[in-house]
Chains A and B, each alone.
Chain A
Amino acid sequence: MPYPLLMPCRSRATLATLMLTLLCLALPVSARAEGARTAAEWLARLGPALNTTSYRGVFVYARGDQVQSMQIAHRFRDGMVEERLVMQDGGAAEIVRRGADVVCVLPDQGRVRLDQVVPSGPFAEAVNRSFMPGDRWYDTRLMGHDRVAGHKAVRITLAARDRYRYSHELWLESDTGLLVKSQVQDADGRVLEHFQFTSLTLTDDFPEDAFTLPGKGRETRRMPTDGTNAVPGPAAAPGESSPGATTRMDDWRLGWRPDGFEPAATPPSARQHAVAYSDGLASFSVFVEPARARDMPEGVSRIGATTVFGRVRDSQDHRYRITVVGEIPPEAARRIAEAVTMRGPGGS
């Protein structure tokens, strides 16, 4: 029995000693304390834990010089995820999710309901598997214990082994494996984005209306997130004005991608055409659309760890805009965008 902990605090010095003792107990300890559990085993828990843990809390999310505080409620019940994410300051953005049905309430756009994107059968397996050989793409190390938002957590570092991905540092809650803190760093060690719970309650107990949509906002349109509404081929009419109604091109292929990135999401259309790729940790999405006059400029935009790279490409009589969005370095996004080739009648 640790003797000092049982002593009444008679003086400031004793109190300080007690506090320091407690602090020392909370400091990171050797990875050996985790017993046989390896970084790979922890990472294998990460994906399921993100979905199947029920919790509520507040987390801060910072990238660049922007900091947002968000309230989250997440319930896993009857095999379905319900989640509500509310921005705490500025704006009124809110996201409510029931299974794959996601409604996003943005201040300027009213409600936007997202169409479903499902992982295809074989690809889903690839995603689950992708964390296991993570050592090929990341130097993975278990760094011991830490505390985040009052919860014991294990800290894992994943250092990129090539220049096509960022390095990550993850803190997983010890009991559930839930991600409670993460950082993304570039090759120079700069932290590009930071996510951390400041309060967290692991609970199944939620109020009735915890996951219902707020009364405000109107549902303006469905936003296609896949190729189902796209008219295939370069005959698709460019020039539409609504940003939510852009025609998605389906007749392209990706000639190159960084090693380790496997198809992660495909639209439910028949073509089984992947639009998103993941290495188990980072991911990127590829969008191909007819170019419009008022598109974003070509080039790269960076918001924290997210890179948005756009370029316009001519293919016979038609102009296309290729956009790569992902938590990958700009150089990787550029190479991916340049590896997109059109096929079919208008292809080159």
Chain B
Amino acid sequence: MDDRLRETLSAMMDDEADELSVRRLLSHPDQHQVQEQWRRWQQIRDVMHPGPASSGRVDAHGLDVIAGVREALDGAALDRASAAASDAPAPARHRWRWSAAALVMLSLGVGFGAGAGWESGDDPVVQDVALKGLDQEQWAQMNRYLLEHAQHNSVGAGRGSMGYARLVSVAGHAY
């Protein structure tokens, strides 16, 4: 596990575990090492945040984890179903309880692999474009759209640097 990854983990330690760490973990080629690291990480977390597990926080040991995550999943699905049945707006608070712990265990244990379900189409109406299939000119076109959108965001809508961060991220990815 490289220093940068450790640094990221370290930077995340005093915060809640989050998607960023999850993504980095998932992109690591040695998944066994990742699980070991995750276990150590979780132990440290247990020391730092003692007491009963908060909602969505799960233990990294054994099958109970997956069961717990499934339970959380089912619970969220039920919540959504009941909300839909009562024709009320979706209860927002349930969305926020997804902890990185749950996501990591989903990824490692239940097969929500890196990238899976990420850019694949879950909307049958909209056809997906595989970014990796774009040639250089098409990438340039994509970058141009993102650049201009970033410009609209930053200057027009006063959104600061976020739009550029998005752009630079893509530029770094593409080349």
Contact = CB atoms under 8 A, between A and B. Distances in A.
Given A64-B23, A70-B165, A95-B168, A118 B92 contact: no
A143 B146 CA distance: 32
A127 B98 contact: no
Interface string A182-203: 1101010111011110100000
Given A20-B50, A119-B155, A304-B166, A93 B145 contact: no
A62 interface: yes
A94 B117 CA distance: 31
Contacts of B161: 50, 72, 74, 83, 85
Contacts of A34: none
A100 B129 CA distance: 33
B157 A265 contact: yes
Interface stretch (A3-11, A35-43, A324-332): A324-332
A239 to B, nearest CB: 13
Contact of A183 (B18, B141, B155, B175): B18
Contacts of B171: 87, 91, 93, 106-107
A275 interface: yes
A303 interface: yes
B143 to A, nearest CB: 7
A298 B127 contact: yes
Contact of A85 (B117, B164, B173): B164
Interface residues of A, number: 110
Given A85-B164, A195-B162, A243 B140 contact: yes
Contacts of A31: none
Interface stretch (B33-41, B58-66, B131-139): B131-139
B42 interface: no
Contacts of B119: 64, 301-303
Interface string B116-128: 0111010101111
11 contacts: A50-B159, A91-B172, A94-B168, A116-B155, A159-B90, A167-B95, A187-B95, A264-B153, A278-B156, A296-B142, A300-B127
Contact of A276 (B92, B138, B157, B160): B157
B82 to A, nearest CB: 16
